[in-house]
Each structure stands twice: as C-alpha cells, then as structure tokens.
Structure 1
Amino acid sequence: MGGLFTDAAEVRRRLDAVGHLVDDGTATALYLATVLHRPLLIEGEPGVGKTSTAKALAETLGTPLIRLQCYEGLSASEALYEWNYQRQLLAIRLTEARAERLTDADLFTEEFLQDRPLLRAVRYDGPLPPVLLIDEIDRADDEFEALLFEFLGEAAITVPELGTFAAARPPLVILTSNRSRELHDALRRRCLYHWIDFPAPERVVEILRRTVPGAGDPLIASAAEFIGRARRLELDKAPGMAEAIDWLSALSALDVSRLARGDIVRTLSTVAKSADDLVAVTEALDDLGYPKAVAP
C-alpha cells in the first residue's frame, strides 16, 4: 500500500482532481494511513466532510468503497459475516432426500458463508485494496468496538468454523466519529487519528465554488460569511459544510444572486436543523448583518 501515493502533496492533488478539497493535515493523515498500513480514525463535527473524504479517496484510487453504517444494536452478523441458513436448510433436505447424512463440517464451509462489509474487505482480491468506511462508529454500542479489535490490528477476521481470513492487501480503513460518545482506548490505539475542523473562510468559499458552480461569486462570498457568523451562535447543531452546500444550492435554484434577509428567511430550513435553531438564527439576523427593512 505504500506505493499508492508518493507523498501528502500528491494525495491533496489527486483528491482535488475529483473535486474534494482537503488541507495539508488531512492529506498527511491519509498518506500516513497508506504508508503505515494503519486504520485512520477521523473525528469532527457533523457536516465537515469526514464521510466524503473516504468516498473521494476511493474515487481517486479507482477502488471499491465498502461502507459499514453504524447504529445502535449493530451486530456481528451484520458487520462481519453470517451463515446462509436457507442454503444450509436446502442442503439438509436434499441430502435427506438422497438418504444421506450431513455433518456440521459439511454445513459450515465457505459455500454457505456470506460476507458482510468487514469480511468482504478482507477477502477482496482486486489490484488495489478497497476503502472500507466504518461510518459513525460512535453510534454503535460499546460492545461492538471489541468485535473490531482483531480486524483493526491485524486486517484479519476469525470464523471459528473455518479459521482466520487475513487480507492479502490490507484494506484502507477509515472510521468516522461525531463524538456523540467516547470511544474505547483500545480502539484508538489501533488507529491513526485526525480531527477535521470546519474549514477556514477562504477554503469555505473555494469548496462552495466547486460544489455549486452555478452560484455567482458575490452570493458565494456572502453565504460563506453568513455561515461563519451563524456558527458562532449558541445553536443545537451548528451548520457544517453539508448545510452550507445545501443552502447555497437552494439559493442558486431560486435564482438568488445577492443575499438578502428575505432569501435567508425562506431558505433557513437548509441551515438550521431544529425548531430552536430556526428561532435563534432568525432572531439574530439583525446582528448577523441582515436587519429588517425600515418603512419609509
């Protein structure tokens, strides 16, 4: 895997070529993950581009993206592997019809094994390793993390009935977390770590220009400035880049060329994601530089 990129600058250039802008820190973290053959844990506020970074990496390399979306109650059978019980039952019935007998060893073979995302990533045999995205690991239960230790540390998964499957080419593993809960130290020790912050104002403008090409520069600049100011309010969910892109797309679709208070009010649902935040942003419009028009 060390030959995927020559340096962090190449990572940045190639991601840029597929429309994904990253800073030097993120490019370096991705480069080190490929060189050191280590999973990369990316944390940051929702909407700053953690998931899209993994998607862009897969697109850049021309390799599959295998995604495991985490949630409360996620089980080993959904993440690692499970047995195809219907095929096993069919095999038993066919054998009985022939007056033969199956043993457990006959039923628990690779023929009946169903790969789930982690085992699929381990057994992938393409020319380049796949990108495995373990998305929002903080949403899974604490106990689920323990299931990942062997995989994260050794790029291997043990199936008790068959033995251990080890990756010929360790997958590029990216875990994301919104920090809704603390992750175990044992998981963190197995990963490199990177924090993605909300981009600097000039990078926000560049990202918006790339993702919403139909918007004019005056609208992009004012939208970026507004989002930056709104993030300083005491909101339940501060708007991230995802909200900024959605908002600018909505304004562009409405043929807005220069931002005005009325445009903000009618599109605010793309920025604020709760009733309280809608009220908070609306009440702050005067302070944000968009006061009500004064009647003559």
Structure 2
Amino acid sequence: MTATAPELVDPAPAGSDPGRAVDRSDRTRGATLRRVAIRVAAVGGIVLAWWAVTALEIWPELIVPRPGSVWQRFVESVTTHDGVRGLEGHYLWEHLAASGKRLALGVGAAIVIGVPIGLAMATIRPIRTATEPFLNFVRSLPPLAYFSLLIIWFGIEDTSKVWLLFVAAVAPISLSVVAGAESIRSDWFDAARSQGASRLQVVRHLVVPAVRPELFTGIRLAIGFAFTTIVAAETVNGIPGIGGLAWSTKKFNQTDIAVLCVIVIGLCAVAIDQIIRAIERRAVPWKGRA
C-alpha cells in the first residue's frame, strides 16, 4: 500500500513560449512588490496617526505614549543605562529568549501529544467519543482560570508556565487533525481497504498525508493561542520574559514599556507565522492550488 497525497504538476507543453514564463515571473514579482508597498504604507499610516494623536495631545501621555518615548524604551531595552541592563535587569533579547523557550516547550509538547490524539480520534470512534468533550472543555477555558492550580501543582518556575502553554495549544492541534481526516472522501477509504490495506496502512498512507494542510492550520492557531497566553503564563515569576515584562509595567503605569511589549509580541507572532507558512508551502505544495 503506497498511496500518497496527489502531486500536481503544471503542464509545460512542447513548443511553449519561454517569454510567457518570464512574463508570469515578472507579474509575480510585481504583485509581491505591490503587497509589500501596501503593507508598508498601512504601517506608516498607523504610525503617522499615532504621532498626530500624541502631538495634538488628545489624550495624556499616560494613556497614549508618544512614539518617541516607546523608541527610547526600546533603546534602553537593548543597552545598559545608569548601571542597569536593559529593562527589569535583562536585555530585550533575554526576555524574548526566555519566553521563546517556554513557547517552544509548550507548543512542541502539544504537537507531539496532540497529533497522535487527533489521529486516534479520527480513526477510532470510541476514542473520539470519549476524548472530544474534554478537548472542547479545555479549549473553552480562559488560561487564568486554571493557572493557579498549575502553580499549586508544579510551582512558580517554568514547569507551570510550560503546562499552561501546552494546555492552550493541544486542543486546536488535535481538533485540526480530526477536521482534516473528516475531509477525506469515503471512497478513498473504500479503495484502500479493497486493496487489502490494514488500519495502520490506511492511517500512514492516506490519513497522515491528507491531514497535513489542516495540521499546519492547527499549529498556526495553537501558536497564536500560546502568544495570547504568554502574558498570563508569566504573571508569576515571569522575569525574564516578554510577557512578564509587560505585566510588570502595571506597577508604575509604564505605558510606553507596555506598548513596546505589545509591538514586540505582535512582530514575533507575525514572524513565526510566516515561518510556519513557508514550511507549509514546502510540506503541502498542493494546498490551495487548482
């Protein structure tokens, strides 16, 4: 049994004009440049509006800090000033590295555990019947609702934070695998069984390739949930950590540092999402193609 996901190849008829391929390449580059220009213009417009609001003093700086103040905090976060390293005694990259480690452990464990759970739910109905309500229950819980329990069980160090991120990420990954399996046509299963495929062979050669597109979607959602949970995870003993840094600003109403943390978290989330999408395009080249 060696059935695999379909491979799509663009036809290239003999005698075709090479100039057309060049034209398509030029159009693709032009479209890419337009998208980049639109996004840069949108970001520039937001920054300009932000600057205008602060220049007009519509709200006090405690509510809306000036872009220059946020930039100054960024400079402080990557330098030593007045004998202090960065912010809260750590450079910005140290905060990011600490949070990144917790995210990698939590989401990585969710992938390792969530994918087999999803495959078992997709192929063995009693397991799905027993497991799906629990996953939906966990998925609906806000992180702070059970973080106190995790602290009691695992302490205030990184273990409780990793568990919180794991719980936030495992449900979307498992359910995405189930959704991907549900999209497989029933006649494909019939064809595989008619050729004598065992349950394991059906899972390996049919289900696993077919669920890959939904799996990457689930991973992207899980990483998004993990980023929204990182501040909650680092409210206790979260320094160094970008979420812990954001949480610490409430003590002295440091709005400029809070805005800096929001921008950094958002940029990191977008960058990681783009990396996952690039991996997805290589691992699932047929997705989204006609």
TM-score bracket relative to the smaller structure = under 0.3
Larger RCO (CA within 8 A; separation ≥ 6): 2
TM-score of the superposed pair, with normalisation by structure 2: 0.26
Higher helix share: 2
